[in-house]
């Protein structure tokens, strides 16, 4: 009996020692099970903007176990007045992602949206999909400033608001030392965008302008240009089928009541006070100069950012707009509506860039609203037309035609090489981009599509808007950041900030 007791005690001590050693050397993901990530390794994130596109892009962030969404922000409380590309599309996406087939948005029972929906989606996802993390609560705020004051353990934010709030919220977050993801554009005012970029350049925070992830590869095109296949590059043409939302040619005159739960003052943010109207908000905001950036801000980032980087296009010296107009009747006399408040139904804008280094002067031409370049003679001879969206690089001896994202380049007039059109899996690309952001935050190495890299495209989309708004050919001084031939157009380079929303 004495021997048995001694051996039992020895076995216990040996087992305990082995267990202790195992605990110190086993990786945390083994101890916590599959996909376990220690709380100290998680990135706590606040999601700012719970409209339809905001919620759509919230779902893959929830699916990435490294992120933990701790708060949502939106001045609209309930799912009232939202619009989407199809009525049940987003609702079904949400139900699938959070594993709750009977989840309902409430509100006007039409389209999901608002901070209460955001809060519900986050909490339901973690309860149903990741119950092991024992998630407590998602905080919901109407005001991003309150969020930044109260959430002390916040690592990062993603900004999915209307365009006019991107710059002010990005700056506020960076000043609090938070890493920032934001959708396009960085700002819908040139000088504001420049200041945000300059602050990011001097900051240690990781920044990510989301459309970078959808840019194509300019390498094959630059190889063709550098080989002299089209002679000397002279022009880049880019055209889109946008706008695919209403472009209102007049300012609303009726004054419907502000929906219950919407803080209209917070929605306006830095912009001047005016009566609420649903035609300013949600899906249609980008058609207004005050709230949006127009078609080029919407789609130019996806198509042209990589072009701007490859060709080093910065500091255009001239911007030449051509735009549609609207005619009304003041019985019995017709008149043209003077419009400096909303983008035109269709436009073309030419930005002229001076030579830089070995690159000669280049014109970049943007087309929207169904406008396209003239059909090249090489296509006419083959009884072909230009696609609805695309890009074309024109040189002294030839032309390169690509898809909108600079994929599948073809040298016009030459036998087309056999190639399989690129079919990008957007879900996989989005997941890879989120992981890249995670890696950047953890390593401290800046994201490749960061604010500092976006100066050329930010400058272009804002000067496009200023030229259209003034309806004048503009001469621009890049060093002085001023328009020299139409002094009154300089007011459109910046905004007058309302108190409490200064940059």
pTM of the model: 0.91
Burial zone of 326 (CB within 10 Å; 0-12 exposed, 13-18 middle, 19+ buried): middle
pLDDT for position 4:
38
pLDDT above 70: residue 419 = no
Write down the architecture of domain 39-214+438-450 according to CATH: 3-Layer(aba) Sandwich (3.40)
pLDDT for position 59:
98
pLDDT above 60: residue 22 = no
pLDDT band at 20 (very low <50, low <70, confident <90, very high): very low
Here the tokens at position 490 are: 């300089």
Domain ranges of the chain: 2-29, 39-214+438-450, 219-425+455-493
Residues 10-24, mean pLDDT to the nearest whole number? 37
Cβ contacts of residue 476 below 8 Å, gap of 6+?
A: 315, 316, 317, 318, 319, 463, 482, 483, 484
What is the domain class of 219-425+455-493 according to CATH? alpha beta
Residues 475-485, mean pLDDT to the nearest whole number? 98
Helix (H, G, I), strand (E, B) or coil at 98: helix
| Integer Cα distance of 102 and 182 in angstroms | 31
Residues 24-37, mean pLDDT to the nearest whole number? 48
| Integer Cα distance of 486 and 406 in angstroms | 35
């Amino acid at each position: 009996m004495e021997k048995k007791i001694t051996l039992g005690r020895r076995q216990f001590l040996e087992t305990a020692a082995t267990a202790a050693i195992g605990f110190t050397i086993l990786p945390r993901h083994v101890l916590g099970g599959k996909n376990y990530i220690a709380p100290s390794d998680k990135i706590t994130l606040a999601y700012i903007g719970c409209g339809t596109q905001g919620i759509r892009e919230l779902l893959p962030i929830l699916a990435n176990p490294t992120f933990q969404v701790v708060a949502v922000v939106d001045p609209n409380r309930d799912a009232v007045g939202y619009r989407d590309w199809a009525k049940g599309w987003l609702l079904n996406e949400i139900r699938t992602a959070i594993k709750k087939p009977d989840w309902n948005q409430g509100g006007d029972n039409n389209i999901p949206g608002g901070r209460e929906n955001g809060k519900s989606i986050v909490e339901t996802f973690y309860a149903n999909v990741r119950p092991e993390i024992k998630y407590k609560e998602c905080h919901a705020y109407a005001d991003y400033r309150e969020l930044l004051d109260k959430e002390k353990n916040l690592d990062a934010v993603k900004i999915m608001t209307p365009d006019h709030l991107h710059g002010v919220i990005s700056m506020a977050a960076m000043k609090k030392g938070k890493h920032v993801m934001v959708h396009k554009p960085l700002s819908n005012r040139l000088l504001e965008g420049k200041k945000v970029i300059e602050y990011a350049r001097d900051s240690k925070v990781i920044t990510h302008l989301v459309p970078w992830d959808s840019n194509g590869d300019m390498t094959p095109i630059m190889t063709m240009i550098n080989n002299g296949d089209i002679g000397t590059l002279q022009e880049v043409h880019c055209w889109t089928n946008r706008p695919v939302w209403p472009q209102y040619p007049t300012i609303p005159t009726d004054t419907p009541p502000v929906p219950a739960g919407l803080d209209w003052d917070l929605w306006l943010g830095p912009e001047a006070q005016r009566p609420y109207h649903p035609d300013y908000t949600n899906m249609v905001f980008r058609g207004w100069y005050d709230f949006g950036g127009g078609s080029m801000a919407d789609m130019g980032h996806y198509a042209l950012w990589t072009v701007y980087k490859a060709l080093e296009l910065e500091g255009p010296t001239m911007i030449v707009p051509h735009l549609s107009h609207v005619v009304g009747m003041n019985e019995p006399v017709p008149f043209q509506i003077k419009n400096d408040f909303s983008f035109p139904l269709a436009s073309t804008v030419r930005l002229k860039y001076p030579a830089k280094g070995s690159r000669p002067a280049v014109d970049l031409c943007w087309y929207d609203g169904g406008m396209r370049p003239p059909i090249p003679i090489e296509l006419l001879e083959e009884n072909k037309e230009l696609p609805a969206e695309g890009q074309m690089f024109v040189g002294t001896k030839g032309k390169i035609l690509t898809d909108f994202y600079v994929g599948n380049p073809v040298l016009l007039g030459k036998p087309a090489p056999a190639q399989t059109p690129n079919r990008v899996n957007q879900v996989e690309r989005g997941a890879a981009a989120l992981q890249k952001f995670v890696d950047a935050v953890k390593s401290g190495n800046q994201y490749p599509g960061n604010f500092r890299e976006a100066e050329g495209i930010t400058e272009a989309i804002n000067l496009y808007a200023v030229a259209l708004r003034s309806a004048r050919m503009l001469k621009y001084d890049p060093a002085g950041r001023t328009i020299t031939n139409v002094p009154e157009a300089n007011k459109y380079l910046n905004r007058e900030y309302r108190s409490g929303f200064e940059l």
